[in-house]
Amino acid sequence: MTRLTVDDVYRYIRGVCFKNGPPGRVGAETEWLVLDAADPAALVAPSRTRALMDAAGPLPNGAKVTYEPGGQLELSSAPYPGLVPLHEALSADLDHARRALAEGGLVLAGHGVDPVRPPVFQAEHPRYACMRGYFDSSGFADAGIAMMCSTASVQVCLDIGEDPAGAARRWRLAHALGPVLVAAFANSPLRAGRRTGLRSTRQAVWAALDPRRTLPVHDPGNGGGDPAEAWTRYAMDARVMMLRAESGEDWVADPGMTFGEWVGKGEPGLADLEYHLSTLFPPVRPRGWLELRMIDALPDPYWPVPVVVATALLDDPRAAAAAEEAAEPVAGRWAEAARCGLTDPPLAAAARACFTAALEALPRLGADALVPLVGEYARRYVERGRCPADEEMHR
């Protein structure tokens, strides 16, 4: 196995993580809490969910199914050439999953954090056992178990950009929009039966984890720079979460070094780099596409709205220009977004401008059919300075 140098890491990140291509494709990953319809406070074993999904056969449009450590169910779409094909395909796969689970009395619930049940670790794969061990040994035990077992999100996956300059613009805009997306879609004011005083408890949980692998890669206030170089530094400075082995019993959690230190020893290969990158969780992660990871899970019918809005704001040039102007004043307000949602006046103003730009862009993107849903969400929440968490907080 060829051993990596620092230059190898940079070349891989430049050529793979930031592989250029014209925007136009979009994908989504939707995480859901799985509840027993007869007893929403009951623990649902992943084996029960898996058996029902397996019995129902493959999803009609081939979304990838993943079972998360706390029993959450994730459906990840393929990339589609536009919003309407993605919406139609993933909606059909979700309908299939709901029918399958209903056969066993289970339902999917869209919340950023489980509002009733405490986190219970239910994973068997050594990756998750090592992840838990890493967070335990590095002082992030409570946030780690909550993140793995109680949180759920809607993730938006978009092309990097047509060239390095375009990729850098999209990278900066995605980061600047992060607090706006957190605030507009905040949906986790409760955790394990208690009010937390936050609109997005999920965002706060992620912020409480190891900052070298969960904080934003790019500081929107620093004037930009080369995103591939920034991601390389981030990856090299992050601690190695685990060392893999042929046997699950031989995996090692938290070997006590950064990836840069490991490279300095001349030990890791390409597969080790690829795996290390999969254990980094910033709110915008480059994987050959941009993965926006900061959005709370939402219930029906609104789970597509953040996908639609984020895509419109990054892919339509006129909407992107408007979003850049709107988001610039609030680019660093992650904590305010989690705590206040759209009751924070600057975030509310930015969200209104962004939703207006997105709605105007959808016909230009061939997504007229999604205007009513986005408009309904805007009228119910954004125009009133509210987010879904506000309804939960006042019930």
Encode the chain in three state secondary structure.
Answer: CCCCCHHHHHHHHHHHHCCCECCCCEEEEEEEEEEECCECCCCCCHHHHHHHHHHHCCCCCCCEEEECCCCCEEEECCCECCHHHHHHHHHHHHHHHHHHHHCCCEEEECCCECCCCCCCCCCCCHHHHHHHHHHHHCCCHHHHHHHHHHECEEEEEEECECCHHHHHHHHHHHHHHHHHHHHHCCCECEECCEECCCCEHHHHHHHCCCHHHHCCCCCHHHCCCCHHHHHHHHHHHCECCEECCCCHHHCEECCCCEHHHHHHCCCCCHHHHHHHHHCCCCCEEECCEEEEEEEECCCCCCCHHHHHHHHHHHHCHHHHHHHHHHHHHHCCCHHHHHHHHHHCHHHHHHHHHHHHHHHHHCHHHCCHHHHHHHHHHHHHCHHHCCCHHHHHHCC
Cα–Cα distance for residue pair 310/318, rounded to 1 Å:
13
Is 200 among the domain residues? Answer: yes
Cα–Cα distance for residue pair 221/306, rounded to 1 Å:
24
Contact 304, 153 (CB under 8 A): no
Written as six digits, the tokens of 73 are 């169910």
Is 204 among the domain residues? Answer: yes
Burial letters 350-375, b for 16+ CB under 10 A, else e = bbbbbbbbbbebbeebebeebeeebe
Contact 374, 344 (CB under 8 A): no
Which is nearest to 245 in space by CA: 99, 115, 126, 76?
A: 126
The whole-number pLDDT of residue 2 equals 78
Burial of 276 (0-12, 13-18, 19+ CB in 10 A): buried
Is 1 among the domain residues? Answer: no
Cα–Cα distance for residue pair 339/370, rounded to 1 Å:
29
CATH code at position 70: 3.30.590.20
How many residues are there in the chain? 395
Is 388 among the domain residues? Answer: yes
Is 331 among the domain residues? Answer: yes
Is 379 among the domain residues? Answer: yes
Domain total in the chain: 1
The whole-number pLDDT of residue 217 equals 94
Q: pLDDT tens, position by position, for the chain (395 residues)? A: 579 999 999 999 999 999 988 889 999 999 999 999 999 999 999 999 999 999 999 999 999 999 999 999 999 999 999 999 999 999 999 999 999 999 999 999 999 999 999 999 999 899 999 999 999 999 999 999 999 999 999 999 999 999 999 999 999 999 999 999 999 999 999 999 999 999 999 999 999 999 999 999 965 444 457 999 999 999 999 999 999 987 667 899 999 999 999 999 999 999 999 999 999 999 999 999 999 999 999 999 999 999 999 999 999 999 999 999 999 999 999 999 999 999 999 999 999 999 999 999 999 999 999 999 999 999 999 999 999 999 988 76
Written as six digits, the tokens of 301 are 């019918």
Residue type, 158: L
Domain extent for 300:
6-393
Cα–Cα distance for residue pair 326/333, rounded to 1 Å:
13
Q: Which residues pair with 73 in a beta bridge?
A: 32, 67
Is 275 among the domain residues? Answer: yes
Written as six digits, the tokens of 50 are 């898996």
Is 24 among the domain residues? Answer: yes
Burial letters 104-139, b for 16+ CB under 10 A, else e = eebbbbbbbbbbbbebeebbeebbbbbbbbbbeebe
